[in-house]
Amino acid sequence: MQSSKREQKSITESVTVLLNRLDPNRVEPGGHDGAPWDEYANEAHSMASLLINKGSITVDQIDAIWQKWFSEPLSVVVGATQTEQFAASLNSLIGPAEQLRVFSDNASLGPKVRAAIMTNDDMSKLTLERGVAIRQRWGRAAVQVGGLQWSIDDRPLALILQEARSSLPKEGRHLTADLYYSVLQRSNDDYGDAGRDALRFLLGEDDWEGFPGRVPLLIGQCLHVECAVISAIIERHDDAVTWSQFQAHQPGPEVEGFPFPSAITYTFDREQHDSVLREAQAQI
C-alpha cells in the first residue's frame, strides 16, 4: 500500500484517537488529571504500521501488540467484543471506500464522497445541553460552564477538545486553557449576537468575515470571540454536514492557529443537525 507521509501521519493520529477513546488502562490520556495524550504512542505506532503496510489489522495482531507492551492480550483487558469492534474501527481508517466512517482522513476522497458513502448508523448525533462540568487540575473544584453546550454522540465537545489539548504545542495549550465555553450564550448583549451569528454560519446562511467556511464554536471565559476561539471548517452537502479541521486561534486570518488532530472529525445527518440549530435559534 502506497501512502504519503501526510496520510501515514493522519492514520497514526487516528489510531491514537481510537486508542484514547478505548483507554484500556483507564489512564484518561489528555485528561486534566490523566496521562499525556500520547500515552499509547508505541502501541498506536505498531498498529498504524500494520494498517499502512498491510492494509488491515486482525484481532490476533492487536492482541500480540498489547501482549508485547503489557504482558497480556487486549481481548483479555477489554473483552473479545470490544476488541473486535476496535479492530473494525481501525480497519475502517484504511478502506475500502464503503468501509470509511466519520473519522476517516483518506486524502484521496473528497468530503462529498465521504458523506455519500455513509449510512445513518455511521453518522454522529448533535445535541445541545444546558451546561457541562469541566474538571480542573490539582484537585480544584470543577467549573460549571453555562450556555447551550455542543454535545456529539452524548459527549460534550468542550470535554473532547480539552482532552486533546496535550497534542498541541505549548503556545496552543496555553491559548486553549479556558476555551470550553460555548459560543451559544443566552444573553441580549454581544454574547448573544455571537451565538446567533454562529448558528447562521452553521446553517449556511452567512459566512464569518475573515474566516469563510469556519464557524466559531467554543470561546474563553471573557465570552468574546475576539479574545480567542476554537473553530471548525463546516461543509454542508445534500444529506450531511461535516465538522472538521478544529483549530484554536485568535482574531485575524493572518494569525497562526493551532490545529487539533485531524481525526477529530464528525459528520451529521443534515436534517437532524439543522433541526437542533433551528431549536437553538429560538432560545438565544
Q: Which of 11-20, 124-133, 225-234, 262-271 has the lowest mean pLDDT?
A: 124-133
What is the pLDDT at residue 241? 95
In the predicted structure, residue 100 carries a pLDDT above the cut 50:
no
Specify the pTM.
Answer: 0.59
Q: What is the mean pLDDT of residues 242-246?
A: 94
pLDDT at 3: 54
Q: Name the average pLDDT for the chain.
A: 80
Question: Is residue 143 predicted with pLDDT exceeding 50?
Answer: yes
Residue 275 above 50 pLDDT?
Answer: yes
Q: Is the dihedral of CA 121, 126, 132, 138 positive or negative?
A: positive
| Distance of alpha carbon 112 from the chain centroid | 19
Grid cell in block for residue 235: 461543509
Q: Are 101 and 118 in contact (CB under 8 A)?
A: yes
**Higher-scoring residue by pLDDT: 19, 107:** 19
Confidence (pLDDT) at 97: 34
Residues 24-57 pLDDT 10s? 998 888 766 678 888 898 999 999 999 888 889 9
**Helix boundaries (H) for 3-124:** 5-22, 41-54, 59-70, 74-78, 80-91, 111-116
Mean pLDDT of 112-124: 51
What was the pLDDT predicted at 113? 38
Q: Is the CB of residue 113 less than 8 Å from the CB of residue 97?
A: yes
Q: What is the mean pLDDT of residues 245-257?
A: 83
Q: Does residue 6 carry a pLDDT above 70?
A: no
Q: What is the pLDDT of residue 77?
A: 94
pLDDT band at residue 112, thresholds of 50, 70 and 90?
A: very low
Which residues, listed in sequence order, are joined to residue 248 by a DSSP beta bridge?
230, 258
**Across 126-155, average pLDDT:** 67
- Residue that is written with C-alpha cell 431549536 in the block: 279
Query: At how many degrees (to 10) do helices 190-202 and 270-281 cross?
Result: 160
